[in-house]
Chain A
Amino acid sequence: MPNLRFTEKPLSEWMQKGGDYSDVVISSRVRIARNLVHQPFPIIASTEQAQQVRERLTAALQDEGVQAQGPFEPLVLDELDDVDKEVLMEKHLISPNLINDSRAGAVLLAENESVSIMINEEDHLRIQCLYPGFQLEEAWQRATAIDDAFERVVDYAFDDRRGYLTSCPTNLGTGLRASVMLHLPALAIMNQIGRILSAVSQVGLAVRGLYGEGSEALGNIFQISNQITLGLSEQEIIDNLHSVVMQIIEYEQHARSRLLDESRLRITDRIMRSYGILSYATMMDAKEAFQRISDVRLGVDLGLIDRASAGQMNELLIMTQPGFLQKTFGVKMGSGERDKYRAQMIRDTLSDVHVAD
């Protein structure tokens, strides 16, 4: 039986600590894609070949250098039940692709969940570091150190001219995808989000709403990431993203102080209404939950509400998702029932009642 503690809590305590600019930046993530030489990529590998890759990479955990970066606990996807897989996905520790399309998939998790290493996703190895707040440089340093440790014991597919070879050419070269998750409620309220985000997409960065279909951003949460992986050094990629995000943080902070100056009463009313609804509603769909949680989080960050914390709101973003609800309440639920349980989860969290035991 695999160790399931990773699916029991929505956020590790470490994740609640915040990090730099945690009033705007929820988290910073760096992902490095690597492949083993002379092994077919997961997309065409046979089950036996995929198992060989998994064995090779989990065996690397015995190496001292790799251990020094961990310890990492391997979880084999086939040994997890569906709800646990969904929870790991909702916590951003594994990707939907690893759940749906992977043969002999596995994930190596660091105890505090800051590192998750996916095996047999689109590439053999995807090293991911997820840090709270704005800590891109820290996440990169950690990821590259783990990469170095693996490289001492396995042979990577690397080409002088093309760099690290990846299954999809969009990851070629550095194999590096860096992204920052931002909460931008004031820019959204003041209708400036479109203008700023379209500017961002013109400088080679991608923007997506993190939750919801297409680019509709539920809860005013946006993810900004680099698109270019070839021809720039890793440091250039990190620095570019860093400086663009820094500007967005300034815009958001400026919009927030304008909100306070120009419409304090109105914004306070909006935040308190949302808090009231979260505290007492008996049914709540995902879309409304995201919006209300976003409002209350803004209230916390503006110092307009002291009954809730930013960590609580981060936690609710994950706890109100389908997999986590099912895990917590231990029942299979349709969407109508889910709205009931979601409302209950929110009420209990805000009144600080422990629901899990």
Chain B
Amino acid sequence: MICQECQQRPATLHFTKIVNGEKTEFHICEHCAREKGELIPGTSGGFSIHNLLSGLMDFDAGNKAKVAGTPAQQLQCPECGMTYVQFRKLGRFGCSSCYQTFDRQLDPMLKRVHGSTAHSGKLPARAGEQIKVRRQVNELRQQMQQRIAEEEFEQAAQLRDQIRELDKQISQES
């Protein structure tokens, strides 16, 4: 795809801007992105990928804020103190807890950037063991609920015992 600004260089930045519910797609090269900084939400002149990201987050949050919950502008990370406004400026998080703090604002942006919101790659070996067990427990719980709903109580009880066993394992390790 060719850059829609200069019609010369390949477009390497692709994003969607929504203004008043109207969606516009952008396909531009880095050179033009830098020159036409004002095109990109959340920037004024100077362009960086971080500005672009926080811009994406900003208008998504804007739409959501009207619905319910704490307005995004008032969120602050309890661990590192980063505020939503700071994140918008930096485009980067301050600590791992920021991911919980700004969780509600994150999904739409991750979807645009990665096309997905959940990790499906490597697990750390040590912490990963526990995560695997926890995932297994969640799965068994769902199965158990289903058995109960189908009134197959004997199988449900077996699943309950398995879950107890795994829970014990988790609490011993942590």
- Tell me whether A169 and B110 are in contact in the complex, defined as CB-CB below 8 angstroms, given that A159-B99, A213-B31 are known contacts: yes
Q: Which of B5-13, B61-69, B146-154, B166-174 contacts A (4 or more CB under 8 A)?
A: B5-13
Q: Write out the residue numbers on chain A whose beta carbons fall within 8 Å of the beta carbon of B9.
A: 194, 214-216
**Smallest CB-CB separation from B96: which chain A residue?**
A157
A 198-214 contacts with B by CB, 8 A:
198-202, 204, 206-208, 213-214
Q: Is B34 an interface residue (CB 8 A)?
A: yes
Query: Which of A41, A214, A233 interacts with B30 by CB under 8 Å?
Result: A214
Q: Is B49 an interface residue (CB 8 A)?
A: yes
A-B pairs with beta carbons under 8 A, tally: 153
Separation of A234 and B131 alpha carbons in the complex (Å): 18
Q: Write out the residue numbers on chain A whose beta carbons fall within 8 Å of the beta carbon of B50.
A: 168
- Tell me whether A215 and B95 are in contact in the complex, defined as CB-CB below 8 angstroms, given that A170-B49, A228-B114 are known contacts: no
Separation of A160 and B123 alpha carbons in the complex (Å): 9
Q: How far is the CB of A20 from chain B (nearest CB, A)?
A: 25
- Tell me whether A151 and B126 are in contact in the complex, defined as CB-CB below 8 angstroms, given that A208-B30, A230-B114 are known contacts: yes
Query: Which of B10, B121, B123, B125 interacts with A215 by CB under 8 Å?
Result: B10
Q: Is B53 an interface residue (CB 8 A)?
A: yes
Determine if B90 and A43 form an interchain contact, defined as CB atoms under 8 angstroms apart: yes
B 107-159 contacts with A by CB, 8 A:
109-110, 113-127, 131, 134-135
Determine if A215 and B31 form an interchain contact, defined as CB atoms under 8 angstroms apart: yes
- Tell me whether A201 and B1 are in contact in the complex, defined as CB-CB below 8 angstroms, given that A43-B92, A168-B92, A208-B12 are known contacts: yes
Determine if B2 and A122 form an interchain contact, defined as CB atoms under 8 angstroms apart: no
Query: Which of B31, B91, B123 interacts with A214 by CB under 8 Å?
Result: B31
A 117-156 contacts with B by CB, 8 A:
122, 144, 147-148, 151-152, 155-156
Q: Is B106 an interface residue (CB 8 A)?
A: yes
Q: How far is the CB of B100 from chain A (nearest CB, A)?
A: 8
Separation of A234 and B31 alpha carbons in the complex (Å): 30
Separation of A148 and B127 alpha carbons in the complex (Å): 12
B 9-24 contacts with A by CB, 8 A:
9-12, 14
Q: How far is the CB of B54 from chain A (nearest CB, A)?
A: 9
Q: Contact residues of A with B, CB < 8 Å?
A: 35, 37-41, 43-44, 122, 144, 147-148, 151-152, 155-165, 167-170, 172-174, 176, 194, 197-202, 204, 206-208, 213-216, 227-234
Q: Contact residues of B with A, CB < 8 Å?
A: 1-2, 8-12, 14, 29-31, 34, 49-50, 53, 79-80, 82, 90-96, 99, 106, 109-110, 113-127, 131, 134-135
